[in-house]
Structure formats: structure tokens, C-alpha cells
């Protein structure tokens, strides 16, 4: 992956942010993050390699720019999960989660695994609950994935959630579905290969993969 920093430098950068925003005790050290940062970077390489947008590639390789806020947001989400899976002191993934919320407005708990390829775009105010998040997922600003009485929707690959949209409660969402801005799907099944518009009862407009291929390098 192309990056203008080493893993060690990235760990030091993130540690400084954590200790400024959330100074502890205990303070977070580079050693606390070093191995999880490697895991997060490997996840970013897989993720960014599947994204078709120009800023995610350089010299034919996936590109990670820590000053690109959407990319850094994705890295922090992967990092929090890597710390949690590694059995770190619970205060550290909690602070990484809080840092991502403070910097980017994303509410995605560290014990929620992200899919291999996800595109977070201007995610201010988005809440990703503990549903099984699908691969090739686009999340814009003000998006909600939530539960009703503890039951989350079942989501399929190739899901585009436009600004202000939500999917809440039981229901199955088919593959290659796009929710238009401010569409709220509540306890509803959605067939595959449609664009969802309007208030309930929604209109399901057939569509192909052109939108998905704008964002992702889909398998042939």
C-alpha cells in the first residue's frame, strides 16, 4: 500500500491524538497500538484496493492518506476492532471509538466488525449498529443501521446508503440495493437490484450495477 508514513509513525500519530483528547489514566503508549495498527493497515489495504475512487490509488497500489478524513475514519474503525479482538485494555478501543466520533462523527462501536470493503463518505452523524455489515457498503452522512427490540436487518452485499437514509429493524435487504437520500426502511424486505425511493410504501425502481461500479472494483 502507498503511504507517506511508516506503521510506527502512524501509531505515534494516533497515540498523540488519543492522549490529547482522552489523556487517561492510563496514558496510551505506542506499544499498546503497534500490533493492532499493523492489523488495521492490512485491513485498509484490502478495503482501499476495492475502492474505485481516484484518491484511493496511487502508482497502481491502494493509497492511504492519513489527512484524508474519510480514509482516516475507516482506519480508526478498523483499529478499534483490531484492539478489541486483541484483548487490549478496554479503555483503549473505547478511546479509539470516541476519537473517531469526535473527529468524524461516526458512531460505530469497536466490537462491530467492518466488512472487507466499505466506503465511508462524509459520515458525520452516521450510526452503524451491530448488524452484520455487508461487503461493498457505501455509508454517507446521517445514515442509520439500527434494531427494533434487538433485531437488526439482514443486509446483502452491494448496499448504497445515501445521505440521511436508514434501515431499521427486521427485514432482508437484497443484493445491489441503493436507498435514495432520506429514505427510511423500517421492518421491510427489499428485493435485489433496486433503487428505493419515497416514503412507505416505497417505490422499488430496477437498476443495474453502474452505481456500485462507480465506487468499487467489483469482481468480474
Q: Are residues 125 and 94 in the same domain?
A: no
- Three cell numbers, residue 207: 437498476
> pLDDT tens for residues 98-141?
999 999 999 999 999 999 999 999 999 999 999 999 999 999 99
> pLDDT tens for residues 24-65?
789 999 999 999 999 999 999 999 999 999 999 999 999 999
110: in domain: no
Print the domain residue range for 147: 118-215
The burial of 220, by beta-carbon neighbours within 10 Å (0-12 exposed, 13-18 middle, 19 or more buried), is given as exposed
For residue 35, what pLDDT is reported? 97
Q: Are residues 55 and 125 in the same domain?
A: no
68: in domain: yes
Q: Are residues 150 and 85 in the same domain?
A: no
Question: How many angstroms separate the first and last alpha carbons of the chain?
Answer: 23
Q: Kind and range of the H or E element at 168?
A: strand 166-168
pTM for the whole thing? 0.96
Question: What does the alpha-carbon distance between residue 213 and residue 216 come to, in Å, rounded to a whole number?
Answer: 5
Q: Please count the other Cβ atoms lying within 10 Å of the Cβ belonging to residue 155.
A: 24
Distant-in-sequence, close-in-space partners of 132: CB < 8 Å, separation ≥ 6? 152, 154, 155
For residue 13, what pLDDT is reported? 98
Q: How far is CA 72 from CA 36, 49, 94, 132, 187, in A?
A: 15, 15, 17, 22, 33
Q: Are residues 89 and 126 in the same domain?
A: no
1: in domain: no
141: in domain: yes
40: in domain: yes
- Name residue 216's beta-bridge partners: 51
**Residue that has been written with the C-alpha cell 437490484 in this structure:** 193
Question: What does the alpha-carbon distance between residue 115 and residue 137 come to, in Å, rounded to a whole number?
Answer: 8
Q: Are residues 40 and 124 in the same domain?
A: no
CB 200 within 8 A of CB 188: yes
Q: Are residues 91 and 130 in the same domain?
A: no
Question: What does the alpha-carbon distance between residue 94 and residue 112 come to, in Å, rounded to a whole number?
Answer: 12
Q: Are residues 66 and 155 in the same domain?
A: no
Tell me the pLDDT band of 219, cut-offs 50, 70 and 90.
confident
For residue 126, give the CATH number of its domain: 2.160.10.10
Q: Are residues 56 and 142 in the same domain?
A: no
Total domains in the fold of the chain: 2
Domain boundary among 54, 78, 104: 104
Q: Are residues 96 and 125 in the same domain?
A: no
> pLDDT tens for residues 165-208?
999 999 999 999 999 999 999 999 999 999 999 999 999 999 99
109: in domain: no
Amino acid at each position: 500500500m502507498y503511504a507517506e508514513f511508516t506503521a510506527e509513525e502512524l501509531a505515534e500519530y494516533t497515540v498523540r491524538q488519543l492522549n490529547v483528547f482522552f489523556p487517561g489514566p492510563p496514558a496510551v503508549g505506542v506499544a499498546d497500538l503497534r500490533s493492532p495498527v499493523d492489523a488495521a493497515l492490512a485491513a485498509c489495504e484490502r478495503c482501499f484496493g476495492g475502492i474505485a475512487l481516484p484518491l484511493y490509488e496511487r502508482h497502481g497500489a491502494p493509497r492511504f492518506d492519513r489527512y484524508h478524513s474519510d480514509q482516516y475514519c475507516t482506519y480508526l474503525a478498523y483499529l478499534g476492532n483490531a484492539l478489541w479482538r486483541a484483548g487490549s485494555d478496554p479503555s483503549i478501543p473505547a478511546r479509539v471509538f470516541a476519537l473517531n466520533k469526535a473527529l468524524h462523527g461516526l458512531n460505530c462501536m469497536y466490537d462491530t466488525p467492518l466488512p472487507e470493503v466499505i466506503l465511508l463518505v462524509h459520515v458525520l452523524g452516521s450510526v452503524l449498529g451491530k448488524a452484520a455489515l455487508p461487503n461493498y457498503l457505501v455509508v454517507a452522512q446521517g445514515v442509520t443501521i439500527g434494531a427494533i427490540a434487538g433485531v437488526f436487518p439482514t443486509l446483502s452485499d452491494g448496499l448504497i446508503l445515501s445521505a440521511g437514509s436508514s434501515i431499521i429493524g427486521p427485514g432482508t435487504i437484497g443484493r445491489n440495493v441503493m436507498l435514495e437520500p432520506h429514505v427510511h426502511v423500517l421492518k421491510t424486505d427489499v428485493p435485489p437490484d433496486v433503487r428505493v425511493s419515497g416514503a412507505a410504501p416505497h417505490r422499488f425502481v430496477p437498476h443495474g450495477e453502474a452505481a456500485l461500479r462507480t465506487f468499487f472494483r467489483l469482481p468480474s
